[in-house]
A and B are shown apart, each in its own frame.
Chain A
Amino acid sequence: MTVTILATVIVLIFLGIMYLVTLVFYNNKKNRMIKEKLTMQTQFQQTLLQTQLEIQEQTFKNISQEIHDNIGQVLSLVKLNINTMELDKPEPLQEKIDNSRTLITKAIQDLRDLSKSLNTDYVIELGLMRSIEYELEMIQRTVNCEIAFTANGKAYRLERQQELILFRIVQEVLHNIIKHSKATAINVTAVFEPETFTLTIADNGIGFDAGKIEDHNYEGFGLGIRNMHNRAKMINADYKLTSTLQKGTTVTITLPLIKNIQP
């Protein structure tokens, strides 16, 4: 009987200890998960901040180019008009005044557009579609290229972070097209579907061997492409790059919509 009672006590206490050990193990696992989650959140915030800074930097570049190539030229033309005005010849004078007025109106409009983009939160304020449109307008002014932008489906707003990251990817893709592709046409398409949002950027440039990129899982290639791929992953989007030599490149970003769609 002594053995039975003692065994019962030992078994009960052993079960209690096992319960405590299991809880400790479970808690350690949970702690690791919480820490990982926190690290991921911090990483996400850092990437988001970096994305904002890159957008800002790109915007400043655009502004500088815009001031130099467009507004500066327009104002120079106005100055030239004023300098060559002859008060004793009323007809050409009136023409030059009208011309200068038109040029100044254009310069004012361009300045207004520029001041809008100086606000670093303009992607959030304007929304992804308008921001892409604006970006394409800016490119159109500087590059001799046919640009088309189409949106299909009933438009909706995405989450703030998603819009920021998508816009940055678009900026990077466009930048790459201008820099490397020698394309004469750029086609941007946004497709709004109830469960997915798809953005396609295609060009008809020289293209490259995209197979290598997928073989190496986006590692070892330009920081830009890897960054775009990583950023897309961060918002759970699928980033697909296809390219054919001498035919062009297409980037397709597909974002599954799970929650938080702002109407």
Chain B
Amino acid sequence: MNIIYYQYFEYMSLLVAIICYRGLKKFSIALFIALIFLGCLADTLGENYSGWGLNRLTNHNEDYLIYNPYLILSTPILLHLFGKMLRLTKKEKKVFLWISLLVMALILLNYFFGEGVFNFNTNSLVLIALVTIFLSVFVLLRLAMEEERVITFFKEPFFWISSGFLLFGLGELILGLQTYIEMNNIKLFGKSIYTLVMDILNVFLYSAFSLAFILCQKYIRT
């Protein structure tokens, strides 16, 4: 079984999320457990795609058959979580719902009629990265603009979650160039730039999640 180092951080954040379930529930972000679980499952299957003989089972050597459905399944959960973190008003909720439906429609169109099932859905990924960046910026702005109480950013779970998403999303944008990177075999320190950057960002993302979940749990104790 192949495990890349960042996956340990991913598993750890899943474990922390389960332990801190009550805290997550208090902040209405318990669905993070499902999101991270999907991520763990996709990464584990993806890393062991040929090792476990999944390539023979699907008759395809690329692990896109795992990552494309992962994108489709994880996006609604991601959008739902952002909806909760944004603490939307009734009017904003309507706008947010329409944007979410549009994003989902574009991802599904790309999957079925665009890049297709057997190619990696780069366009969808870039779209998700852009939406993630946009929404993270909004969550952080909302936090900063809150006038009623004194907020210590470093003690705010949503700050860590959104910071993780923001930096991860910015890095993920280069995935739009993934096809080009692969075609030209661009490497750094003997590794694909994509792998190198994304591994580091994954570590940051899941560490930020773990910290945020602990803060959620701490919040209900105080």
| Residue ranges of A at the interface with B (Cβ–Cβ < 8 Å) | 1-2, 5-6, 8-9, 12-13, 15-17, 19-20, 23-24, 26-27, 30-31, 34-35
Contact = CB atoms under 8 A, between A and B. Distances in A.
B33 interface: no
B141 to A, nearest CB: 8
B170 A12 contact: yes
B186 A34 contact: no
A1 B174 contact: no
A19 B150 contact: no
Interface of B: 137, 140-141, 143-144, 147, 149-153, 163, 166-167, 170-171, 173-174, 177, 181, 184, 186-188, 193, 197
A30 B166 contact: no
16 contacts: A1-B184, A5-B177, A6-B188, A9-B171, A9-B197, A12-B173, A13-B170, A15-B170, A17-B167, A19-B137, A19-B140, A26-B144, A27-B151, A30-B151, A31-B150, A31-B152
A27 B159 CA distance: 12
Contacts of B184: 1
B166 A19 contact: yes
A23 B144 contact: yes
B178 to A, nearest CB: 11
Contact of A13 (B167, B187, B188, B193): B167
B170 A23 contact: no
B131 to A, nearest CB: 15
A41 to B, nearest CB: 13
A20 B187 contact: no
Given A26-B144, A34-B149, 15 more contacts: A5-B174, A5-B186, A5-B193, A6-B188, A6-B193, A12-B170, A12-B173, A13-B167, A13-B171, A16-B170, A17-B167, A19-B166, A27-B144, A30-B144, A34-B150
Given A2-B186, A20-B140, A27 B173 contact: no
B20 to A, nearest CB: 23
Contact of B188 (A2, A12, A35): A2
Report which residue of A1, A2, A9 has the largest number of chain B beta carbons within 10 angstroms of its beta carbon.
Answer: A9
Contacts of A35: 150
Contacts of B149: 34
Contacts of B173: 12
Given A12-B171, A31-B151, A23 B193 contact: no
A7 to B, nearest CB: 11
Contacts of B167: 13, 16-17
A167 B147 CA distance: 34
A23 B151 CA distance: 12
Contacts of B187: 2
A20 B174 contact: no
A40 B28 CA distance: 35
10 A-B pairs closest in CB distance? A12-B170, A16-B170, A31-B150, A23-B144, A16-B167, A27-B144, A2-B186, A16-B166, A34-B150, A24-B153
B136 to A, nearest CB: 9
B48 to A, nearest CB: 28
